[in-house]
Each structure stands twice: as structure tokens, then as C-alpha cells.
Amino acid sequence: MRVVRTKAELRAALAPERLPGRSVGFVPTMGALHDGHLALLAAARERCEVVVMSVFVNPTQFGPGEDLDAYPRDERRDLELAERAGVDVAYAPSADEVYPQGFSTFVEVTGDMVRVLDGDRQRRGPSHFRGVTTVVAKLFRAVGPDIAFVGQQDGQQGAISRRRARDLEFPVEIVVVPTVREESGLALSSRNAYLDAAERERAAALNRALGAAARAAEEGARSTAEALAAARAELDAAGIEPEYLEARDAEDLSAAESFDGRPVLVAVAARIGRARLIDNVVIGGLAGTARDT
């Protein structure tokens, strides 16, 4: 595996790979790798002839008072795991490399997609997604992937990524890989490292809540309000007050009031101890079938 720190080194590493027309798969990460990231790398390895992974904690997606300084970092471990997973090129730039002095251009997705759920101004706010869309656009530009692999755990970010790629005509396919979970059902996240044993046990209620919403749909609930009430009961039982628990159209994130055949994203966010955790399930089809995709 080759580790590069600059865009010039990255392009030099990939240039000979492109000549024979080999496909390039890309997995953007902020490091602190876990089995969820490894699932993305495995999917990329299966689909593509060249696999690139980035390791970059993006400062522009953190708001005031968020955990930028405390965010878990262990580059040596990340690179060891990446090499074992079959990564060909690891791109680990500095903040100055990504945002040189005088940087003043940002990429934004506008409209309701970035104003709901995490984008609500009472939560992380639209500036969070401005930071995400900008850094991913820059990474796409630097890597030039054929396929990019993202996790379903952040359903909103995935929807926004697909919209950005469509609107800006990025020649890249976005593949969403199912969420990887602990045995308890807790979605794997780098921020799980903040949880102690008791908090980890409570946090598993997030997935139970989503399961309750999915079962309500499977059992014939047509109203999303009914499914959300079932989910809320699970959170109440665990003493968790969510930042949000909402049903949204899985593609454009508009409010979904019923299960009418279009996929519905049921998303939840909650603070448990020091960790702010998110999770979701996609419920789709007239029969109310659920899928974690």
C-alpha cells in the first residue's frame, strides 16, 4: 500500500493505474476505522481494481463546541487496517493541503435536504453539510474515482451525496453499503469509543426503536406517526430523549406522513453520555417491508 500526503503525490500514484483503464474505487473516511469502514473497503475491493481510501478529519464540518479536537485519531492503526483490507493507495493529507491559505470556495446543496434532521439550525445546522459536500467534492476531484462507497448509517449524508453527484454531474457512481452493527444492534461509529459499558447498553435502544418502527409498518401501519410512536416507546423505556426521531422520504428528505410505496427513511439522533449517535432504517414498499441498506 502506498501512503501519500499531497494531491500531486496522489495523482502520480494513480496515473499509471488509469492508463490500462482500471476501475478506481474510493472510500472517504475520517479515520478511527472500525468494521463498518472495513465493510466499505471490502465492497470497494470486490468491485474495483484499484482501491483508494482517504483519512482526513475535516474541520469544516464541525461546528463550535463540537468534538473536532477530541475526535478519535490513530493514523498508524488506520493505515495498518487499510493495508490488511487491500487498499492500494491511502491519501492522508493535512488540513493545509486540503484548505490552502486563502481558501474561500464552498460547495452547497440548498433546499430542505440540508435544513432537516442534522441540518436543522437547532442541531448541527446547514453549515455541517456545506463542510461535508465541499470536502467530498475536493476529494472526488483529487481521486477521480469511478465508484465511491459510503455507509447507510448516515442516511441524510448519503442522500445529499447522491444529489450533489447528480447536480454537479460528477462521473462517479455512489454505492451505499449496509450499516454494520454490534451484536446488540448498535450501529458501529467512531464515536462509540466515547461510551462506557452502561451507556453502550442504553445506546442499543436506538436500533430497537428503529426495529419497532419497521415492525409497525410490516404489521400494516399506514401512518408514519404510528410507526414513530412505536419507536418512541422503545426510547422512553431506555430513558433516551432523542434530538430527533422523524420519517422522511429516503430520496429527497421531504416529510413522509404515510407508507405509500416510496422508501421512507426513519432517522434518529440522540446524545448518550459524551457521544452524539445517529441511526436509521429505510422502510419501503406498499407492504411495509423494511430494509437496512
Task: Write out pLDDT tens, residues 124-162.
Answer: 888 999 999 999 999 999 999 999 999 998 889 888 888
Domains of the chain in start order, with CATH, are 2-177 (3.40.50.620), 190-291 (3.30.1300.10)
206 close to 189: Cβ distance less than 8 angstroms? no
Q: What is the pLDDT of residue 146?
A: 96
pLDDT over 80 at 218, yes or no? yes
Residue 55, beta-bridge partner list: 29
Q: What is the pLDDT of residue 286?
A: 35
- For residues 109 and 231, which has the higher predicted lDDT (pLDDT)? 231
292 close to 207: Cβ distance less than 8 angstroms? no
The H or E element containing residue 206 is: helix 205-218
Of 34, 25, 36, 292, which is closest to residue 174 (Cα–Cα)? 25
Q: What is the pLDDT of residue 56?
A: 98
Structure-block grid coordinates of residue 196: 462506557
pLDDT over 80 at 111, yes or no? yes
Rounded to whole angstroms, the Cα distance separating 167 from 164 reads: 5
Is 128 a known active-site residue?
Answer: no
| Residue range 5-54, pLDDT digits in tens | 999 999 999 999 888 889 999 999 999 999 999 999 999 999 999 999 99
Rounded to whole angstroms, the Cα distance separating 240 from 237 reads: 8
Share of the chain above pLDDT 90, in %: 81
pLDDT over 60 at 119, yes or no? yes
pLDDT over 90 at 75, yes or no? yes
153 close to 187: Cβ distance less than 8 angstroms? yes
10, 30, 32, 37: the active-site residue: 37
Q: Which residues, other chains included, contact 15 with Cβ-Cβ below 8 Å and sequence gap of 6+?
A: none
Q: What's the whole-number mean pLDDT along residues 228-249? A: 97
Q: What is the pLDDT of residue 14?
A: 96
**Strand bridging mode 264-272 / 147-151:** unpaired
Instruction: Report CA torsion sign: 237, 199, 155, 81.
Output: negative
